[in-house]
Structure formats: C-alpha cells, structure tokens
Structure 1
Amino acid sequence: MAKTIWRQVRTGPLPGSLNMALDEALLNSVAAGCSHPVLRLYRWDPAAVSLGYFQRGGRVVNLPYCRAEGIDVVRRMTGGRAVLHASEVTYSVIAGVRGSGFSERVLDNYRSISLALQLTLETLGLDATLVSGRSGGPGSETTHSACFTAPSSYELLCEGCKIAGSSQKRQGEVFLQHGSLPVDLDPERLFRALDTLGRISSEEGGRALAQKVGWINRWLDHPVTVEQVEDCLIASFASVFSAELVEQAPTAAEWRDAEELVRQRYGNPAWNLRGIAAAGPAE
C-alpha cells in the first residue's frame, strides 16, 4: 500500500502569539487544498500559558505572576482548559476528515492521534495507558483550571498521572488537533501560573498537582531531550498512519497569514484575555 504524503513542519521555539497564529494559518492552507496533511512540531519562547478558546484570562490565570515571570498568555483557537507550555514537545495535526487515516467522528481522530502519542511514550520506555475519560477526583478544586489535571477522551496516563493534553477544532472538512507532551515540568510553577484563588500555598498546590500530572523525564532513568522526543514522535506518526513525512517549512503565504492573524487576534492582549465578543478593558 502506498504511503500517504504528509508535511513535517518543525518550526522550533516561537512566541505564543505566533505559534497559535501559525497553527491557524496551516489549518487555512489545508482547508483551501493548498497543503498535504501536516504534522507540526514546535516550542515556546518565552514560556506561555495558552487559554482554551472560551476561557477568560483573569479568571483562570494568575496574571501578576505570569507578568513577573515573563510568561506569555495567549488564547487558542481550540477549547479546553489552560496549559503552561515550557519544556515540552508541542504538536499539531491538520488533516481532512476523509482519508489520511482519519474519520468524520471527532473521538475517532482523538483516538488515532493518541495511539501515535502512546507509541512515542512506549518507545521512550514509559508505560502509557490510553483512557476514555474520567471525572475529577479529590483535590480537583485546587487545580480546576489546568488542562493537565483532567484526563478526557482518549488521552494518556503514566503511573496514574496525565501526561498528554490535546484539543481539537473542526473547520469544514478539515480539523486541527494540537497538544503537548511535557519533557520536564515544575508542578509548583504550573500551580502558581494558574492559581487565581490564593487559598493554599504554592508548595501545597504543587504537591497536589504532582499527584495528577506527569512528565516524561519524571520516570526515565536516563533523561531525554526535547529534540529526542520530537524525533521519536515523528517516527511514531509515520508508523501509525503509514505516512511519508516530508520536511517542509511554512510557505511565504502561510507566514503572511500567520503574521496577519497575530495583528488581528493573537498579538492583542484584550482578545487573548477576554475573547473576540468582549468589550472594555482586559481583565
């Protein structure tokens, strides 16, 4: 059977606004029939909190702490809860719902992509379990805004802790799913970035998060780098989807589209914190 051609877009570290804008620009490109399916791998410089599309920034992010620490805050085009992006591999998959191994059913596509993520983790030496979803347990009130505290449909657990978070958006016959695999993680920093209640100490909050969230190097005898995880993830996607991944940078048109989206939305603090329907000053 002939392999499906995918684009492998590896953009390295970018500011949060440009990362989110480029994801949308690539979605537009695939939707317009100008691109093969895309596997994009990227990083964040500086670290950033990405908000789910329907969240309000001041309600779920500790904005004074983020400003003091130089942590960006940006809104995603996908739903879900807030995520702190630092030492991790972030991916996006953009493809049509017909062909390329995908389905018109959202959950089918979550599961297919999760199988590639699971293979990545297992290749690295972790025992990763695919879960169909569960509700929050004891202590969820201390971590309510963090995406990584809430396993949802077809996401991955290691040692009972969530180790991958993903969210998805459909645009006509094309979808985008992006998510992350933390390589290293500081639970106390994550707690402080997302703690808007101030009811418990950062040390206590960090300990509570460490019971719910995981990261790759937490359980490996020999730590791996972000680059090693990226290489492993590329091989896993090629295997699971019988794809030939052809490395290709974003086109000039895609960069122009992304830069315009930064101007319109992702570079606008008021839009990032409140959303396009809100009026007045940002929270």
Structure 2
Amino acid sequence: MPKIRSRTFRLVPYEEYDAETNMAVDEALLELHLQGKTPPTLRFYGWTPPAVSFGYAQKVAPETIARIKKAGYDVVRRPTGGRAVLHEGELTYCFIASSKSETIDFSTAQKLALVEQSDFEPDSQLLYESPYEAILESSVARAYRQICNALINGLTELGVETSLGKSTDGSYKNNEDCFQATTQADLQYEGKKLVGSAQLRRRNGVMQHGSIILNQAQDKMAELLGESDKAASSQALKNGEISSDSAEIDDRKIDATPPPRHFNLRDLLANDVDRTAIEEAIGRGFTKAFDCRFAVYDIKDEEWELVESLKAGGERYRLD
C-alpha cells in the first residue's frame, strides 16, 4: 500500500498539564500516528506543577522521590530513556513522525500470538505500522540529527548558534541528572547543554521529546536529587578539610561552587524574547528542515480518551 505523503504537519499549541498527562499525551500522539489518525506532529508544552521526569529504565531511590515531592514537584517516569530532567523554567517540545523501517513482516497470526503474550491491546503497534511517508532515517543517531538540526535552525534564527553534543566517556551514564553531560542527541552552546532530548520508537513510529532550558536555577536540580550535599562533602575531602570518616564539614572553609550546569536560553538572547516567539522560531526551523507547513489544532476529544486510558493503569508513568 502506498504511503501517505503529507507535508502539512500538525502543530499542537502550548498548554500546561500535570506530569502524567504530559507523558500520556506524547505517547497517545505516537500511537495515533501509527494508526494513521494524525500526521507528523510538533507539540509544545509546560508542566503544572513543575516536575522532575526520570528515564524509563532509570533507577530512582525512594528518598529521592520523597525529597522531590516534599519540595512541591511532580515526579514521573518517561516512556523514553535517559536521565532525570527538571521541568521548570524550560519549554518542552515533542516531535512525532515515521521513519524508514527495517522491521520483520509478521503474519497476522504471529502478531496476534505476540499480543496474547504481552500487555498490548489488540490495536497495538504490533499489528500495524504508520501509513505516513517516512521522513526520518531508520538509524537512531541519524534521526536524532535530523530533528536536532530543525531545532538548530530555530535557535539560529533567534541568534543563538548551537551544535550537536559529542559522545561522552561514560559520564552521562554516571550522572542522575540529564544536563550534567552531553550526548550526540543534545544541543550545546560553548560546551554546555541547552537542549536535552530522548526518543521512543514503536515499529516505524518515532517520538522525540526534549527540554529547552529558558531560565532555570543552576543548583535546583542538584538540590532536588540530593547532589548538593554530596558535592560539598566531595570538595571538602578533596581539599583535606575533612577526613573520609568525618561527618562534620566546616562550611566556611569549603568553596564547593560548581561550574555552570547549563546555559539558559534567555541569557543568550539579545532581546527579551517571549515563549511564543521561541516556539514560532523553532516551528520555522522544522519547516525548513522538513519542507513542510503546519496546521494548528488542539488535542481532540477522542484523543483525550486514549490519553485517559494510558493513565488509567496508574503505574505506567507513576513513581511512588
């Protein structure tokens, strides 16, 4: 069957939701794209209340969850991988499209057998792939690069020259905080991360979402993750101000001020550019990268039904 060629992409305008709803909307839009019910889609959103999201397979200590919640922040598990992200003073984007796939052609019987052995519903991605023309490469790295280039286009229009991050020596995996190290899936400015992203792939569908730092306190994430106390202790040990078995630290002797964790986009802009102008510039960046135009429409009632069904289980995104 010929693929649907659509150069009219969907733009879901900015709204703010709680953490679980945001993750369910992103996942629902991917599922609907696989079903052929929504074209390639760009979405912008915020988080109310502010939240910390953790990667799908990231281990999180109960005391960390308790500390974050006590501070008044939501906690959620993303359907994507990666490390912890603070969703405060930032703009989140999500882009969904089809990729060139090299998938096994399961027979209907095989697909149904797989469904019976899993927790997928009968209309799951095991039974179909997106009918839309593939605009993303099958390679994860190249697809990241395509989407990141669209972001680079938009930021360049704002006067901010960014570049793709570089492979790390493993420091990313050793950090709980996504923004403590860069990868090839990120955008950096003068060596510091400005945009962090992660992908979810189902059949030939790709959902990439990420955080664009606008105006975020440098030390807030360390405080929420409990890293600030560790950093102070580590610096004190390094300076010889405490012994390894000492529990006391003389704060007056310690200079534990860490280097900047990230760049804030608002600090890099020549003028006081508002969030809407940033969204519009990034939208034009995608238009240039994918030779498309955008039609704006909100989440529809039937789409909200899928969102609510994804949230209904209670454990899909929840961290307790």
Instruction: Assess, with a 3 A threshold, how the Cα gap between structure 1 residues 220 and 205 changes in structure 2: closer, same or farther.
Output: farther
The letter for the 1-side match of 2:50 is A
| Alignment check: 8 A CA contact 2:99 2:206 kept | yes
Q: CA separation of 1:34/1:134 partners in 2, compared to 1, >3 Å: closer, same or farther?
A: same
Unaligned runs of 5+ in 1: 274-281
- Describe how 1:38-117 pairs up with structure 2 within 5 A: 38-58=41-61, 62-98=64-100, 99=133, 101-117=135-151
Shift in Å, 1:174: 0.6
Q: Is the 8 A contact 1:44 1:86 kept in 2?
A: yes
2:298 is the alignment partner of 1:249:
yes
Deviation of the 1:241 alpha carbon: 0.8
Larger radius of gyration: 2
Compared with structure 1, are the counterparts of its residues 206 and 115 closer, same or farther at alpha carbon in structure 2 (3 Å cutoff)?
Answer: farther
Amino acid at match of 2:312: R
* Corresponding position: 1:152 with 2:198: no
2:22 to 19, 27, 36: 19
Deviation at residue 136 of structure 1 after TM alignment: 5.6
**Could you list the runs of 5+ residues in structure 2 that have no partner in the other structure?**
101-132, 234-250
Q: Does the Cα contact within 8 Å between 1:187 and 1:207 map onto a contact in 2?
A: no
Structure 1 letter corresponding to 2:73: I
Q: Please say if residues 156 and 164 of structure 1, whose CA atoms lie closer than 8 Å, have aligned partners that are also in contact.
A: yes
- Kindly indicate whether the alpha-carbon contact (under 8 Å) linking 2:6 and 2:39 is maintained by their aligned counterparts in 1: no
Residue 201 of structure 1 deviates from its aligned partner by 4.4
Q: In 1, Cα distance between the equivalents of 2:14 and 2:29? A: 12
Question: Partners of 1:223 and 1:17 in 2: how far apart?
Answer: 31
Equivalent position amino acid for 1:208 in 2: P
| Deviation of the 1:58 alpha carbon | 1.9
Correspondence 1:129 to 2:129:
no
- Report the counterpart of residue 176 of structure 1 in structure 2: 207
- What is the distance in 2 between the residues matched to 1:27 and 1:207? 42
Conservation of the 8 A alpha-carbon contact between 1:133 and 1:155? no
Over 6 Å off, 4+ runs: 202-206
Question: Residue 243 of structure 1: CA displacement?
Answer: 0.9
Letter in 2 for 1:227: T
The Cα of 1:260 is off from its aligned counterpart by 1.7
Could you tell me which amino acid in structure 2 is paired with residue 28 of structure 1?
Answer: E
Per-residue deviation, residues 235-265 of structure 1 (Å, max 9, x unmatched): 1111111111110111212111111212214
Cα distance change, pair 222–33 in 1 and its aligned pair in 2 (3 A): same
Q: 1:200 to 1:18 in 2, by over 3 A?
A: same
**Sequence identity (%):** 30
Counterpart of 2:226 in structure 1 is: 195
Distance 1:175 1:213 in 2: 27
C-alpha spacing 1:205/1:69, structure 2 compared with 1 (3 Å): farther
Instruction: Give me the whole-angstrom Cα distance separating, in 2, the residues matched to 1:148 and 1:176.
Output: 20
How big is the alpha-carbon RMSD for the aligned residues of Structure 1 and Structure 2?
2.7
